[in-house]
Structure 1
């Protein structure tokens, strides 16, 4: 069922986009390990759009351990030399909110445990809390960029783990380009949390997953826990639609 309404948050994000280019996504996807545990990592930076202010050093992201498949939102900052410090956050409570970084506690002693240095082909660093220090080794598997004056570029596999997940599924946005659609979320992949199998690829027309400034917020929680909201370009005044999609029976 489609629930079309003007998104105030979408208006705000559109206003920050320069009229000289179509979008604001600079995203790199990685696979690798933290310690000996396989992980998938996706990171979004803002160097082009916020080139002249402190926002250029912001980092949004999402990662999951392959054994568990629960997305962990990331919030952090990047240094001019490419170093990043990333905090593990919780899913935003509602659309338009930012992921919440928990305060340090005995159960969560290091809210910002990830230190990374980004290279052209990957990233390396350390995951550290007060008891352990685990090496991080990542290689880049995909990237997208629709900033600047050049046509949007997609390299490799760009499968974005959204901040929201359902009780049974990890929700992964599959992004691509085509002759008739410069950049869009072509499908929402439903990965079974229990067995890791792809239960379904939900196909979308051009414009899906292209409304929210953090790419990871283009799919968010619905009132019905078996559904999800997918943001799609268009709607009233061209500010965006939110589509209520049934994910689970």
Structure 2
């Protein structure tokens, strides 16, 4: 078990006394970007100083590679940008932009409604229609409510695998019940890791729900850290990839 660095946004909430009031309002969608089936997940906020009110993750079913998205929603209109590299991720989402974020030139332009969304994705000369249907949601800001099967496509990934967290509601609250390791090439589940977590704290630490699983590389081996809340700064459990068994093993 290790203590984990917590981002600027998380610290401000932890020490303001708001941390356990809940900050997760997440909606999952399935649909199409042009002819390509996609899974699409967004988390909405009241907003930060940069003006960002939405963060999320989506992937094309054929590629299984999560793409980090962020932007703003206003009067049902959603503009979303895509993160292109680690430097941009650190500058905009980890440290936070010091100036208001402009989403006018970003790929996604969507009209949201109660059941889904429609709009376009455009980049350069490419432009495709987008249609989305809401399939699940999670809200711990008020009534601790889950609708449907909530699987979170985490931002962390390796060259060959992505990671998905299944969230559930228990007598102790909402938390991540299990994490799946999914091969990008086949889309199949290669490993399933369940958490012995009676207090229901797994996957409930970081402000963006998509950052509750993080990837590090140590001594040429991929390490996956799962974040847990604990009433303080939180902690993590690490899983190291074993090259012989092709599985992630818990490091105590």
Counterpart residue number, 1:11: 11
Task: Considering Cα pairs closer than 8 Å and 6+ residues apart, tell me whether 1 or 2 has the greater RCO.
Answer: 1
User: Contact 1:115/1:127 (CA < 8 Å) preserved in 2?
Assistant: yes
Does the C-alpha gap of structure 1 residues 33 and 186 become closer, same or farther in structure 2, counting only changes over 3 Å?
A: same
Q: Does 1:68 align with 2:63?
A: yes
Displacement of 1:12: 3.0
* Rounded Cα–Cα distance in structure 2 between residues aligned with 1:216 and 1:194: 21
- TM-score for both structures, normalised by structure 2: 0.81
Gaps of 5+ in 1: 101-109
Counterpart residue number, 1:228: 224
Displacement of 1:54: 6.5
Displacement of 1:3: 2.2
Q: Does 1:155 align with 2:157?
A: no
Does the C-alpha gap of structure 1 residues 97 and 129 become closer, same or farther in structure 2, counting only changes over 3 Å?
A: closer
Gaps of 5+ in 2: 95-103, 244-252
Does the C-alpha gap of structure 1 residues 18 and 28 become closer, same or farther in structure 2, counting only changes over 3 Å?
A: same
How many residues end up aligned between the 2 structures? 228
User: How big is the alpha-carbon RMSD for the aligned residues of Structure 1 and Structure 2?
Assistant: 2.7
Displacement of 1:15: 3.1
Does the C-alpha gap of structure 1 residues 15 and 221 become closer, same or farther in structure 2, counting only changes over 3 Å?
A: same
Displacement of 1:43: 0.4
Q: Does 1:30 align with 2:22?
A: no
- TM-score for both structures, normalised by structure 1: 0.81
* Rounded Cα–Cα distance in structure 2 between residues aligned with 1:191 and 1:168: 9
User: Which has the larger displacement, 25-34 or 158-167?
Assistant: 158-167
